[in-house]
Amino acid sequence: MTGRDHAEKLDRDDPLASFCERFVIADGERIYADGNSLGRLPLHAAVRVDGLMAEWGELLVTGWSRWIELPVKVGDLLAQVVGAHRGEVLACDSTTVNLYKLAHAALDLRPGAIVVDEHEFPTDRYVLEGVATRRGVPLRRLACDPVAGPQPDEVAAACDGAGLVVLSLVNYRSGALADLPAITAAAHEAGALILWDLSHAAGAVEIGLSEHGVDLAIGCTYKYLNAGPGSPAFLYVRADLQDELRSPIQGWFGQRDQFRMGPAYEPAEGVERFHAGTPPIVGLAAVQAAVEVALEAGIAAARAKSRALTELTVRLYDERLEPLGFRLASPRDPDRRGGHVSLAHEDGWQICRALIELADVVPDFRGPDTIRLGFAPLYSRFVDVWDAHDRIAGLVESGRYRDVPADRLRVT
């Protein structure tokens, strides 16, 4: 059996251990296992947002001459997170809106079917369904193993006549990490553009967008990047594609020479043409600070720790939870797994709710039966993983989880 002393040793040897102190941890007893859904608050972000509020109070509208740079500045920081060049990433809008913009732009350039994983995150499936209907192109839902996720040969087989392939690098449900180089090559081979959704990957895994010639990407900043609830998202467009693509939202922030306020829309040069309206500056200040913390830790170091955290999770599942009726709903191979681990159980919903209400462990739940454990690398300790498993095992062994109501809440 893996004892708590093993987890304590991993914490002692952890090069990122001190980053815990960079985050607000209000309740030391509570174990936070939902960093893949909403990251903790970095102290640096709170300070930066306070500073922005002070600027607003003092500078009023004259502050815009400095604030207007933020989407590109923050985009350049995010480029370091996703392995892109300066000028290829813009911090703007939500992931949902960025998908809409880039999907239409891509299909203008490469008309054809849209290919999406049938297990893709809901907003991606819904947006693409709307885009396909509006454009009168087929939407192909790729059937694949729900735990392992889409494989390169499956994508290749679905790509005939496709204009655009949209996939998550890390699947929100199973945590499967897709083979980005091989799948990107397969889409290109078929003449399609590829758009990667990095929402569950950014800040947890290393991503080489430039290295692998990725066309387009989107992602959010409130998960492993810790920029706060509803913080602005980002989009990436490879430099050589930028002039060929146009946003379907012809907003004034994407306009060339914006303040000339000319009669007709003419897209700005570079990635800024994918802007829509006035950027959310308070949110962008939080993204900037949060991403600075992530880059200070280093994405390679974050990935190494995240991998070790999920390895410990799987090992403790094998020893303590599998005998209690849990089933591993994530890939076992750490090279094919992102930053969270999913465990299915027939009483999953009640166990998840009991963990929050009776055991001070906060995971989340994805129906019909899956508990997700997301120990984010910058502020999670290995003993958190051990203690969480100990509390889960205690609740299930004793049957105490049956004390909480079995009805569902609005947000799970």
Catalytic residue positions, numbered: 121, 197, 222-223, 372
Output 179 or 197, the one with its CB closest to ligand PLP. Answer: 197
Report the DSSP beta bridge partners of residue 337: 176
Given the complex with ligand PLP, which of 121 and 236 has the nearer CB atom?
121
Secondary structure class of 388 (helix, strand, coil): helix
Which range, of 53-61, 196-204, 304-312, 344-352, touches ligand PLP by CB under 6 A?
A: 196-204
Three-state DSSP class for 72? helix
Does the protein bind ligand PLP through residue 121 (CB under 6 A)? Answer: yes
CB of 370 to ligand PLP, least distance (A): 15
- Interface residue with ligand PLP among 19, 84, 95, 369 (CB under 6 A) is 95
Choice from 137, 154, 168, 238 touching ligand PLP (CB under 6 A): 168
Backbone angles phi, psi at 218, to 5 degrees: -140, 165
Listed in sequence order, the residues at least 6 apart from 57 whose beta carbon sits closer than 8 Å to its beta carbon are none
Choose the stretch contacting ligand PLP; rule: CB under 6 A; options: 145-153, 197-205, 250-258, 275-283.
197-205
Specify the amino acid at residue 186: A
Q: Is 146 one of the binding residues for ligand PLP (CB under 6 A)?
A: no
Q: CB-based contacts of 312: which residues, under 8 Å, 6+ apart?
A: 2, 7, 10, 382, 385, 386
The two structure tokens encoding residue 341: 């681990």
Q: d(Cα 168, Cα 106) in Å, to the nearest integer?
A: 17
> Closest Cα to residue 346, out of 316, 368, 364?
368
151, 174, 184, 199: which one binds ligand PLP (CB under 6 A): 199
Query: Given candidates 117, 197, 272, 387, which one binds ligand PLP under the rule CB under 6 A?
Result: 197
Please report how close the Cβ of residue 398 comes to ligand PLP at its closest, in angstroms.
Answer: 34
Rounded Cα distance between 3 and 341, Å, is 20
Please give the DSSP secondary-structure letter assigned to residue 318. Answer: I
* Beta carbon nearer to ligand PLP, 98 or 310: 98
- The CB-of-121 to ligand PLP minimum distance in angstroms stands at 3
Min dist CB 97 to ligand PLP, Å, is: 7
220 contributes a contact to ligand PLP by CB under 6 A: yes
The CA distances from residue 277 to 92, 254, 263, 272, 392, in Å, are 9, 8, 17, 11, 46
Interacting span for ligand PLP (CB under 6 A) from 90-98, 203-211, 309-317, 370-378: 90-98
Q: Give the angle subtended at the CA of 238 by the CAs of 232 and 244, to the nearest 5°.
A: 105
Instruction: With beta carbons less than 8 A apart as the criterion, state whether 338 and 176 touch.
Output: yes
Name which of 52 and 217 has its Cβ closer to ligand PLP. 217
Please identify, using beta-carbon distances, which residue of 207 and 359 lies nearer to ligand PLP. Answer: 207
Cβ contacts of 284 within 8 Å, gap of 6 or more:
67, 70, 71, 74, 91, 232
Total residues contacting ligand PLP by CB under 6 A comes to 13
The residues pairing with 373 across neighbouring beta strands, listed in sequence order, are 341
* Token digits of residue 29: 């007893």
224 binds ligand PLP (CB under 6 A): no
Single residue of 2, 80, 94, 250 touching ligand PLP by CB under 6 A: 94
Residue 386 touching ligand PLP (CB under 6 A): no
172: contact with ligand PLP by CB under 6 A: yes
Residues that bind ligand PLP in the complex, under the rule CB under 6 A: 94-96, 121, 123-124, 168, 172, 197, 199-200, 220, 233
